[in-house]
Chain A
């Protein structure tokens, strides 16, 4: 039940689930608006951003799990039109800021540039009061996309699809991985 609550909270802030009625009416009104197809470099850009948040370590990172593809799917399929636009606007603004700072796309920046840029981006407040900043929204999608991917769920976490029993109390250490949530 905690998990459910945490998940609902994520969805609420992303605008994907429990929308306030006035927002819902707006979302329904907007949902027929045509959406431009994702530019071809958007997948590359999102995968690089995701990899910067969840890099390859002793387990594969977000790029190997193709988290960028999940993010595009989630944004296109799960977000109401206004949240979708807000996310892409945030992405475009971030990319423009990176180009203006380093003279090149985030996708081709080196690791130091990426880290330096995200450290700045992380400090920026949300564009709209009561909504997550672009960086927070991106992190939500990256975390969800990675840890529910086959790579993230089975390698970064402890995947136990058929536990077979319930152990109410087990002692763990600081290297114990979390169980993969199964919803």
Chain B
């Protein structure tokens, strides 16, 4: 009996954080710094900062396949290998699709990394604030539930997380991407400056700015500065690229309050009907498959959008037969992703005697210009941003199509290539009830967890933006004197944007949403969700900075509520 009491005591914490990715890392840092004994549960393996980055310093010739995908990638990583960041140097950071199956009623590319830090290691680090154009969009056109917060609620938290994370950028003064606390910007190339000027002079309402990114261009909190290798996806040995294990987890660890436990797959949240609170989580040991319970007063579920909602759906009780806190029935619904289908490429003759040195971890960004600030487009609601870069590659990269061989050919192939630009549209995705995920309890994975079933597709609204994007980009590139202008629809499935959002959305009304303005489950006030699952719309900006800010804000609220005895 005493042994059992001791065991329960060892498994009891002030707080539990499920997941160690971008939002989980932030929850861990904030809760630990406030003095809460916090258990951080990571379903994947241990992956230490720097010493765990086994490919970080490899030269091209050290890579097993010199960065080519292999035939076996098509079997073992048939979904993951579609990700732009999947290559010879990062393969080990993506899950095996063979070992981690899911169902696709309609195609959905679910990109995952199961290790400490999650996708915070492989993300593209683009970081933009949202504005009230985004927080008000649902209320204005009626798609989705109105956000329970506005920019003013989150603005100080953006500043708070930016100062710690280290975000580079310019103060551009654009209301759709409010300025933040920036580290030195990364200068645009000569061709990008030319493009910037052509857009400013000829395309009203459009602006090309430096792509803001979570790379410390100056030392911040002992991290960085960036060495401009642009090998961030392999893990940054200079700690300049933001990742959980480079930034938030060390801050949590230094308090002495964090217990980080890997190989721990959360099965469900335990709900106590008498207390009307969650009391802990059930955890499957990834190696032994044994289930153990852990207890805490407050629980942050930050397992990433799809797994967070899977855990909630799998948390059944008499009170919540359809998933924890799911009185509204919206849990699993309103699944969204940014629509990156619109792509363009073009070449440019000129600036032959100009080049650049170093490799930037970012590019340029054209923030949303449609249906805001006086623009009105009748063909679709909301809008899209455009990201891209305009650089010079190496001649040999396209050299196979150049005629010739021999000494002169070799000499020509050793030179810089021509200037070129690549663009991708980043379209807002409307929140729609019919786009959803569900869990299939009759088909479980190797750990006994139900498999996920996706049923989502792009709507006419996202597709309508492609036509506009083609016209806009073609006009810009023609005006700017580009050649070989090519626009295409990548026709990629939702999920591949890796901005999966929604399925446990925030909202004002418990009848139509899962979470309140503090990211608390309406019906279970000591459970918080601050990852992509909480999002009520997608905006056009990359979402991770907003996850960071929402998490820090919710952790602050949770701590105060705990002290007041409210949760």
CA distance A110 to B399 in the complex (A): 25
Nearest residue (CB) in A for B190 is: A169
Of residues 26 to 84 in A, which have CB atoms within 8 Å of B's CB atoms?
27-28, 31, 52-55, 57, 61, 70, 73-74, 77-81
The answer to whether B409 and A53 touch across the interface, beta carbons within 8 angstroms, is yes
The answer to whether A7 and B407 touch across the interface, beta carbons within 8 angstroms, is no
The answer to whether A180 and B405 touch across the interface, beta carbons within 8 angstroms, is no
A128: Cβ under 8 A from any B Cβ? no
Of residues 1 to 45 in A, which have CB atoms within 8 Å of B's CB atoms?
1-7, 9-11, 16-19, 24, 27-28, 31
Max chain B Cβ within 10 angstroms of own Cβ: one of A136, A162, A169, A177: A169
List of B residues within 8 angstroms of A80 by Cβ: 71, 74
B230: Cβ under 8 A from any A Cβ? yes
CA distance A9 to B82 in the complex (A): 14
The answer to whether A163 and B227 touch across the interface, beta carbons within 8 angstroms, is yes
Q: A139-B405, A165-B358, A169-B189 in contact; A182/B60 too (CB < 8 A)? A: yes
The answer to whether A1 and B414 touch across the interface, beta carbons within 8 angstroms, is no
Of residues 108 to 159 in A, which have CB atoms within 8 Å of B's CB atoms?
115, 118, 122, 132, 136-137, 139-140, 143-150, 153, 156-157
The answer to whether B68 and A16 touch across the interface, beta carbons within 8 angstroms, is yes
The answer to whether A169 and B397 touch across the interface, beta carbons within 8 angstroms, is no
A103: Cβ under 8 A from any B Cβ? no
Segment from B4-12, B41-49, B388-396 that makes contact with A: B388-396
The answer to whether A166 and B187 touch across the interface, beta carbons within 8 angstroms, is yes
The answer to whether A10 and B397 touch across the interface, beta carbons within 8 angstroms, is yes
Max chain A Cβ within 10 angstroms of own Cβ: one of B187, B353, B396, B422: B396
Q: How far is the CB of A152 from chain B (nearest CB, A)?
A: 9
Partner among B188, B400, B407, B421 whose Cβ is within 8 Å of the Cβ of A2: B421
The answer to whether B187 and A11 touch across the interface, beta carbons within 8 angstroms, is no
Q: A57-B411, A139-B399, A148-B61 in contact; A28/B356 too (CB < 8 A)? A: no
Partner among B69, B354, B424 whose Cβ is within 8 Å of the Cβ of A17: B69
The answer to whether A172 and B416 touch across the interface, beta carbons within 8 angstroms, is yes
Nearest residue (CB) in A for B345 is: A5
A100: Cβ under 8 A from any B Cβ? no
List of A residues within 8 angstroms of B416 by Cβ: 172, 176, 178-179
B485: Cβ under 8 A from any A Cβ? no
B406: Cβ under 8 A from any A Cβ? yes
B67: Cβ under 8 A from any A Cβ? yes
The answer to whether A31 and B68 touch across the interface, beta carbons within 8 angstroms, is no
CA distance A157 to B393 in the complex (A): 12
The answer to whether B413 and A169 touch across the interface, beta carbons within 8 angstroms, is no
Q: A53-B405, A162-B229 in contact; A31/B75 too (CB < 8 A)? A: yes
Q: A143-B396, A144-B66, A168-B187 in contact; A182/B230 too (CB < 8 A)? A: yes
Q: A52-B405, A143-B399, A163-B357 in contact; A178/B227 too (CB < 8 A)? A: no
The answer to whether B190 and A178 touch across the interface, beta carbons within 8 angstroms, is no
The answer to whether A5 and B74 touch across the interface, beta carbons within 8 angstroms, is no
Partner among B68, B89, B227 whose Cβ is within 8 Å of the Cβ of A11: B68
The answer to whether A24 and B74 touch across the interface, beta carbons within 8 angstroms, is yes
B420: Cβ under 8 A from any A Cβ? yes
Q: A73-B65, A78-B65 in contact; A166/B397 too (CB < 8 A)? A: no
Of residues 366 to 395 in B, which have CB atoms within 8 Å of A's CB atoms?
388-395
CA distance A24 to B82 in the complex (A): 13
A160: Cβ under 8 A from any B Cβ? yes
Q: How far is the CB of A148 from chain B (nearest CB, A)?
A: 4
The answer to whether B89 and A183 touch across the interface, beta carbons within 8 angstroms, is yes
List of A residues within 8 angstroms of B393 by Cβ: 2-3, 6, 178, 181
List of B residues within 8 angstroms of A24 by Cβ: 74, 78
Nearest residue (CB) in A for B401 is: A136
CA distance A180 to B411 in the complex (A): 14
CA distance A168 to B59 in the complex (A): 24
Nearest residue (CB) in A for B424 is: A1
The answer to whether B420 and A167 touch across the interface, beta carbons within 8 angstroms, is no
0 or 1 for each of B318-347: is its CB under 8 Å from A? (1 = yes): 000000000000000000000000000100
B363: Cβ under 8 A from any A Cβ? yes
B173: Cβ under 8 A from any A Cβ? no
Q: How far is the CB of B32 from chain A (nearest CB, A)?
A: 33
Of residues 203 to 258 in B, which have CB atoms within 8 Å of A's CB atoms?
227-231
The answer to whether B358 and A147 touch across the interface, beta carbons within 8 angstroms, is no
CA distance A148 to B67 in the complex (A): 9
The answer to whether B66 and A70 touch across the interface, beta carbons within 8 angstroms, is yes
CA distance A162 to B188 in the complex (A): 20
Nearest residue (CB) in B for A55 is: B407
Partner among A27, A148, A153, A174 whose Cβ is within 8 Å of the Cβ of B71: A27
Partner among B63, B401, B414 whose Cβ is within 8 Å of the Cβ of A157: B414
0 or 1 for each of B74-112: is its CB under 8 Å from A? (1 = yes): 110010011010011100000000000000000000000
CA distance A9 to B488 in the complex (A): 14
| Chain A residues within CB distance 8 Å of chain B | 1-7, 9-11, 16-19, 24, 27-28, 31, 52-55, 57, 61, 70, 73-74, 77-81, 115, 118, 122, 132, 136-137, 139-140, 143-150, 153, 156-157, 160-174, 176-183
A-B contact pairs, 8 of them (CB 8 A): A53-B405, A57-B407, A81-B71, A148-B60, A162-B229, A170-B354, A172-B353, A178-B393
Q: Identify the 6 closest CB pairs spanning chains A and B, nearest first.
A: A163-B358, A178-B394, A168-B187, A167-B357, A166-B358, A140-B400
Given A11-B68, A57-B407, A153-B61, 8 other A-B contacts at CB below 8 A? Answer: A1-B424, A2-B420, A5-B422, A55-B406, A147-B394, A166-B358, A178-B395, A182-B60
